[in-house]
Structure 1
Amino acid sequence: MDDAISYLVEKEIIFKKIIDDYGLPIIPSRPEGFETLCKLILEQQVSIESAKACFQKIEKLLKTVSPETIFKSSQEDLRSCGVSRQKINYLYHLSENILSDKIQLETFSQKTDEEVRSELIKIKGIGHWTIDVYLMFSLKSKDLIPLGDIAVINTIRELFDCYEKENIQKLTETWKPYRSMATYLLWHHYLSKRNRKVIF
């Protein structure tokens, strides 16, 4: 963490200002595995609080959240937990891919980011944002920035006066090999400025 912070602060005075204004960022962490991917699917395009409430209802219903229990659940049961029909299908697809051994989540920690991405992107409902967050939070990848994340993009536009996709890409390239830490700093600024509670 210290090396990444030092590097980024030296690269960009704005990162130093974020730390001066709001302190060090929280480094999010989630366990590897099926439950985390389920939660990330539920979090797509909704608040984390809403997704968390949804997952808690699923836990209460199923007792154990696993590929087996999700795959055997009826759409009606999952709908009663507040899951949309689209996301129910995504959860089924993920479960089926694990049960059929098309992906083996326990092997991901031994693979490169791109190997993990190439496997997960084939699963309906899992896009690059979900993969980026899983790689960062669960597999501790040090050099990722989720450019599909609205908070990240809006903060870059606000702080760096950088708007075009190509220019944003070029700017973030200069933060290698610590783009994940840069992301945590951007999220830290976004949430702290708005007095919003950090929930990862």
Structure 2
Amino acid sequence: MKLTIPLSKDYSFEKTIERVKEFEKATEYEIDAKLWRAIRLSSRAIVVGVCRDQAGQLEIESHDDLSQSEQAELKEIMTHRWSSQVDLTPFYEQVTQHPILSSVLSDRMGFHIVREPDLYECLIRTIISQQLNLSFAGTLINRFIEEFGEKIPHLDRWFSSFPTARRVADLHYEDLTTLQLTQRKAEYIIDLSRAIIEGKLDLSSLQQETDEEIMKRLISFRGIGRWTAECLLMFGYGRSNVLPAADIGLRNALQLLYGSDTRPSEAEVRELAKDWSPYASYVTFYLWDYLTQQKKTNKTTKKVIMNDR
């Protein structure tokens, strides 16, 4: 079964999908020119493939037939996930006037944030990733999904959906530490899952709150600090003006962009970001990608130099 979703006029699916393919290798599979992964609907988990069709729309293919209500839910999830209706024109008009940031923008026109399909998934992925490099975080996330997710056969392979809060709430801490998660993170993940099941933490109900109200509520729970809440605001709730000023990646990117000898402090990042509003999330996302691409360039340059010796 196939569905389509219109994309905003500035949307570059090619640029947007590249970062997903690079950082979501454990859960996203490129097969027959589509990017496939498991998605959980209210009623069940399904396997979904996406691509850009000839009309310039987002084409969504499900591995199974869907009811009308499931089709509507899937469209809502994928519209949110791919930021398909986000018009970046005002953001570009603002950033092109910036003497420094404009250089980051030039190669990233049409590059959109890809959000997590589910708030619970976003929260748990972020907790697993706390204070880890992206590579090892991805390894742990993959182990977690493979061990506790539901398996769905499609295209001659098994796809694993992200575990539900109910499934994780029933686990023991040692079930997670055997995957190489720390005792503390095991406690965070299972205790938060139990809080969700018990109704003490309702992530969906926070949708209507302001960024500050969401932040205050989230960080009242053990295991959710400011950085985790900021990531959930960006990649879960889809808020456009989030500034994770303490994030090491963002600070490294700014040090590189400004040619500084030292990494800026959190306070200095906030000073530099005074004119990023109301698009701090997108400036941050573009700077993360800028840092990633610069690292790749440096690795390539070093390899060429070594080969020339």
Runs of 4+ in 1 over 6 A off after TM superposition: none
1:54 matched to 2:152:
no
Name the residue aligned to 1:15.
101
Alpha-carbon separation, structure 1, partners of 2:221 and 2:256 = 34
Alpha-carbon separation, structure 2, partners of 1:91 and 1:165 = 27
Alpha-carbon separation, structure 2, partners of 1:186 and 1:128 = 20
CA 120–177 in structure 1, closer or farther in 2 if over 3 Å, else same:
same
Alpha-carbon separation, structure 1, partners of 2:190 and 2:265 = 37
Partner amino acid for 1:2? T
Partner amino acid for 1:81? L
- Write out per-residue CA displacement over residues 29-74 of structure 1, whole angstroms, 9 at most, x where no aligned residue: 2123212211110011112332232233223332351222212212
Higher strand share: 2
Q: Give the superposed CA RMSD.
A: 2.0
1:171 matched to 2:257:
no
Conserved in 2, the CA contact under 8 Å of 1:129 and 1:149? yes
Task: Specify the structure having the higher radius of gyration (Cα).
Answer: 2
1:146 matched to 2:244:
yes
- Write out per-residue CA displacement over residues 2-40 of structure 1, whole angstroms, 9 at most, x where no aligned residue: 211221221x222221233x3334423212321221111
Partner amino acid for 2:91? A
Alignment partner of 2:178 out of 80, 88, 112: 80
The offset of 1:104, in angstroms, is 0.7
Higher relative contact order (CA 8 A, sep 6+): 1
Gap runs ≥5 in structure 2 = 1-87, 151-162, 298-309
1:104 matched to 2:202:
yes
The offset of 1:171, in angstroms, is 1.9
TM-score where L is the length of structure 2 = 0.58
- Write out per-residue CA displacement over residues 70-125 of structure 1, whole angstroms, 9 at most, x where no aligned residue: 12212222122221111101112211221221211121222211121111101111
1:128 matched to 2:220:
no
**SS of structure 2 residue aligned to 1:13:** coil
1:186 matched to 2:287:
yes
Alpha-carbon separation, structure 1, partners of 2:232 and 2:96 = 26
**SS of structure 1 residue aligned to 2:115:** coil
Alpha-carbon separation, structure 1, partners of 2:142 and 2:293 = 27
Name the residue aligned to 2:190.
92
Number of residue pairs the alignment of both structures matches: 194
